[in-house]
Chains A and B, each alone.
Chain A
Amino acid sequence: MSLSDPELIAKAKAGDKQAFTELFDRHRNKILSYLYAYIGDYQMAEDLTVETFFDAYKSLPRYEERGTFSAWLYKIARDYAKKEFRRRDRHKEVSMEAPIADDTDDLSLGDVLTDDKARPDFEARKDEFKEVIYKTLSKLEKKYKDVLLLCDVDGLGYVEAAKILKSNPITIGTRLRRARKMFYNILKKHGYEF
């Protein structure tokens, strides 16, 4: 029978690396998905996932069981994602996905590759709805992205999400409703119905 998170944490704290590896395997894809949706860059999300768990491993002796282990991981991951945004702000970025500021048309190379109408010789492309969702999430304003990721993608309750986001559950609930509406409208605007 597999051990629970608290049991594995206790073993990992006692120096059992295998126990930590099991915790890592249990939560890594969730954290990766969270980071990917947060920053919209898969490779970077993978790197930050590793950093998140490495940080968690180093901080394990100081870990106190006030909330769930995954909530603690989300907190670390979110800090890394925020750092990444700050880094991007500092560095001048040119992205094939970024619209050209001084161009009247907002099209970008990312659009070229995802818009069949732009293609001179048409050929239907395979469905990449999953990627569209992740990309759309990553482009939302931070406060809305936060609640959607924690509550809808990762299934945390308002109270737990509020603890992570240092807010109160009522604000989280209101914000979540707005975020869903916003997300729906963006997808609809780009022709995605679901």
Chain B
Amino acid sequence: MNSHDDEEIVQGKVKKLLNDLPECNLSEEKRRELIARIYEVSDERKHITPFTPGIKVRVFSSVAVLVVFVMAFTYLFSPLYPVITNVKGTVKIYRASKNEWVFAENSGTRLGKNDILKTFDDGQADLIIPKVYHIRLKKDSEIRLAKSISRTISQDSGYVLEKGKLLAYYNKYRRIGKELEIVTPQAIATALGTDFMVASTPVLNQTTIGVLDGVVKVNSSLPSGSAIQVPTEVMVRAGERTTVHKGDAPDKPTPLLEDELLNMEELYNIGTRPQVALLISTGPTRTRELLSGTPLYISSEKSGVFTEKIRTTIKSFNQAIREKSKEKHLEGVKQLEEIINNNPNPKYDVQLMLFIGAYYEYLDDHVMAITTFERAIHDYPQSSLVSIAQCAIGIIYEEKLKDFDKAKEAYQKILSNYSNSPEAEEAFAGLSQLNK
């Protein structure tokens, strides 16, 4: 056979292969999404159809316009309260209107005016007003919302940090709000678009302010009529810190110490929105796709610590492959876990946890795989992806650990808790098989 024949064979083979390539199936969810949008746009078209209204219609529409106007007015000028999210460990909220303390949960509740958010020694929580600010309250801290902002009027927002430490990202391109003010017993830190940290230590009677980006104006919280004559205001710029002792003027800003910089690293992730996507389908086979190895895409508009950590992790995995070392693989997985632990974010935690769980399974560490999937279910019960975690648990128990009772239990949970999920099909099939 000559090279021309070979060439023709290749041409024919590729053509046939691609002709026979099975089509992908668009998910029912996406189909419904398009149909809903078509009907929506059709309705909009209907609304602009001209007609001549009668007197009743005119009166009715005038009233309707008035109602809509009042509602819009109320909406636009209503205060914006931050959402409490990423709750870890013990965190409590004091509801000022009810005069009671309740446990905070990841259920999207908001902090009202004069409400207090308190983290204990194992706790951490975030306060977010999307596109405006993102504050992370670290352990052993207490913060009160003193000034809320409205949706449209430019006004300050402010908190009182009674004790502890917070990291804040304040969007310099925000459309609403002027300044973010953090008041402690010793100092007033005012930010106008920046990344910064405030730590108030009641025992030492001092507050430390560190700035990573932008400028923060720092004043002393001096009692009225104070006899101090020194300047009480300093501007702390990027890479600087200052300390304020009660009753004194703020110290002259000095460069941030290395460990302070490291502690503030997570600020780079607050406010940035890395997109994390597991490349699995939306159909009933997605759990098996996950367990058989699924790529994970991570993108970020802003290169920061998050993307750098991912790069380091990939390097670790590459090393693991070269050395064919299970230990090195595990090191890489631990690095991924650290990313979640140090930079918790409901936007991508579940995807990362599913990936980590699948990776443990890939390394035949079934117990750690199950533990990771269970953590995803526990930490993010509202996520639409946790049915995958539950299904993965069932599959591992059934096919790897041969613990059929546990497998049945896992599948049963899918039918009870996520009956509308694509995993229900796998669970039903699994149960039928196990009950034979």
User: Within 8 Å CB of A58, what residues of B?
Assistant: 41
Question: Taking the complex as formed, is A79 at the interface, i.e. its CB lies under 8 A from any CB of chain B?
Answer: no
The answer to whether B277 touches A100, judged by C-beta atoms less than 8 angstroms apart, is no
Tally of A-B residue pairs with Cβ under 8 A?
Answer: 169
Task: State in angstroms the CA–CA spacing of A46 and B27 once bound together.
Answer: 8
Q: Of B13, B277, B299, which is within 8 A of A91 by CB? A: B299
The answer to whether B277 touches A183, judged by C-beta atoms less than 8 angstroms apart, is no
The answer to whether B24 touches A120, judged by C-beta atoms less than 8 angstroms apart, is no
Q: Of B11, B280, B364, which is within 8 A of A180 by CB? A: B11
Task: State in angstroms the CA–CA spacing of A21 and B314 once bound together.
Answer: 44
User: Within 8 Å CB of B5, what residues of A?
Assistant: none
Task: State in angstroms the CA–CA spacing of A118 and B24 once bound together.
Answer: 29
Q: Of A54, A92, A194, which is within 8 A of B299 by CB? A: A92
A50-72 interface code vs B (CB 8 A; 1 in, 0 out): 10011001100000000000000
**Which of A42, A50, A97, A183 has its CB near the most chain B CB atoms (within 10 A)?**
A42
Q: Of B23, B293, B298, B325, which is within 8 A of A32 by CB? A: B23
- Evaluate whether A130 and B10 lie within 8 angstroms (CB atoms) in the complex, with A17-B42, A57-B38, A91-B301 already known: no
Task: State in angstroms the CA–CA spacing of A115 and B7 once bound together.
Answer: 29
Nearest A-chain residue to B42, judged by Cβ:
A17
Task: State in angstroms the CA–CA spacing of A130 and B96 once bound together.
Answer: 59
**Which of A17, A57, A109, A121 has its CB near the most chain B CB atoms (within 10 A)?**
A109
The answer to whether B324 touches A118, judged by C-beta atoms less than 8 angstroms apart, is yes
The answer to whether A103 touches B318, judged by C-beta atoms less than 8 angstroms apart, is yes
The answer to whether B362 touches A113, judged by C-beta atoms less than 8 angstroms apart, is yes
Q: Of B34, B299, B303, which is within 8 A of A53 by CB? A: B34
Question: Taking the complex as formed, is A170 at the interface, i.e. its CB lies under 8 A from any CB of chain B?
Answer: no
The answer to whether B297 touches A155, judged by C-beta atoms less than 8 angstroms apart, is no
Question: Taking the complex as formed, is A10 at the interface, i.e. its CB lies under 8 A from any CB of chain B?
Answer: no
- Evaluate whether A41 and B321 lie within 8 angstroms (CB atoms) in the complex, with A153-B18, A153-B19, A177-B11 already known: no
Number of contacting residues on B, CB 8 A? 60
Nearest A-chain residue to B282, judged by Cβ:
A46
Min Cβ gap B41→A in Å is 7
User: Within 8 Å CB of B58, what residues of A?
Assistant: none
The answer to whether A194 touches B279, judged by C-beta atoms less than 8 angstroms apart, is no
- Evaluate whether A109 and B314 lie within 8 angstroms (CB atoms) in the complex, with A20-B38, A33-B23 already known: yes
B38-58 interface code vs A (CB 8 A; 1 in, 0 out): 110110000000000000000
Question: Taking the complex as formed, is A95 at the interface, i.e. its CB lies under 8 A from any CB of chain B?
Answer: yes
B1-28 interface code vs A (CB 8 A; 1 in, 0 out): 0000001001101110111011111110
Task: State in angstroms the CA–CA spacing of A156 and B58 once bound together.
Answer: 55
B275-302 interface code vs A (CB 8 A; 1 in, 0 out): 0010111100000000011111111111
**How big is the A interface, by class?**
35 or more
Report B200-230 residues with CB < 8 Å from chain A CB: none
Min Cβ gap A62→B in Å is 15
Nearest B-chain residue to A114, judged by Cβ:
B293
- Evaluate whether A121 and B300 lie within 8 angstroms (CB atoms) in the complex, with A28-B31, A58-B41 already known: no
Task: State in angstroms the CA–CA spacing of A111 and B322 once bound together.
Answer: 12
Q: Of A36, A46, A111, A155, which is within 8 A of B321 by CB? A: A111
Chain A interface residues toward B at CB < 8 A: 15, 17, 20-21, 24-25, 28-30, 32-33, 36, 41-47, 49-50, 53-54, 57-58, 88, 91-97, 100, 103, 105, 107-115, 118-121, 123, 125-126, 128, 130, 133-134, 148, 152-153, 155, 177, 180-181, 183-184, 194
Chain B interface residues toward A at CB < 8 A: 7, 10-11, 13-15, 17-19, 21-27, 30-31, 33-35, 37-39, 41-42, 277, 279-282, 292-303, 307, 310-311, 314-315, 317-318, 320-322, 324-326, 329, 362-364
